[in-house]
Structure 1
């Protein structure tokens, strides 16, 4: 298995498009599967359209579903930080993309994005792993 770790700063954006990095990682690897994994308890990855508003819509929807208040049992960090720990139940911490000839088989409008609503930690690691098929 080949693997590479990306270091991502989420201070300016709650979603970060990782598609180019995933494509670059897969480019010389042939056929197989690329797994994108976020080893954090408060972030996830998703496949969605970016640039047309869907990424902002996702963040707004998650913030409505996970309000920042004192309802959470997990209560440390900034107010409402417990919501960040619920996020991976809605946005999975990993996805797997099929790869053919070194090209991720994403649909025309699909992008791989890191989703991070956590205001307490802006430094994220994303592990890309490739298994040949």
Structure 2
């Protein structure tokens, strides 16, 4: 298995960050196999969704409705409402696996691989890309 870690700076805002081009570069020329994308953080996830047409912003809005910052979270360290960030990976898992054929991701036409990060307290993230040859 071949693996690399991407260092990502998300800043102090909630983001849905498209990682697809970086994933494409990583698998390019590798043949058939699986790409596994993993975020080793307790407050971020990986989603496959359409970006650029507003779905990314819709996702953040829905997460705010499902996990409001002003809820009475038991997990209280960090900025107000930070407990929601620790619940996020239960809804958006910290990983995704995508088949690779002939060195190309087999995503659908409108699908993108995205880091979902609602944690405004941690501006720096790591994303591990791993390729398991078929």
Which TM bucket (shorter chain)?
Answer: over 0.9
* Aligned match of 1:9: 9
Aligned equivalents of 1:120, 1:52: Cα separation in 2: 27
Matches within 5 A, 1:72-111: 72-111=73-112
Matches within 5 A, 1:37-76: 37-69=38-70, 71-76=72-77
Find the residue that maps to 2:58 and give its secondary structure: helix
Which stretches in structure 2 are left out of the alignment for 5+ residues? Answer: none
Cα deviation digits, residues 15-74 of structure 1 (max 9, x gap): 110000000000021100000000000000000000000000001100111111251111
- Taking structure 1 as the reference length, the TM-score comes to 0.97
Is the 2:14–2:120 Cα contact (8 Å) retained in structure 1? no
- Taking structure 2 as the reference length, the TM-score comes to 0.97
- Over the aligned positions, Cα root-mean-square deviation in angstroms equals 1.0
Is the 1:70–1:79 Cα contact (8 Å) retained in structure 2? no
Aligned equivalents of 2:117, 2:106: Cα separation in 1: 24
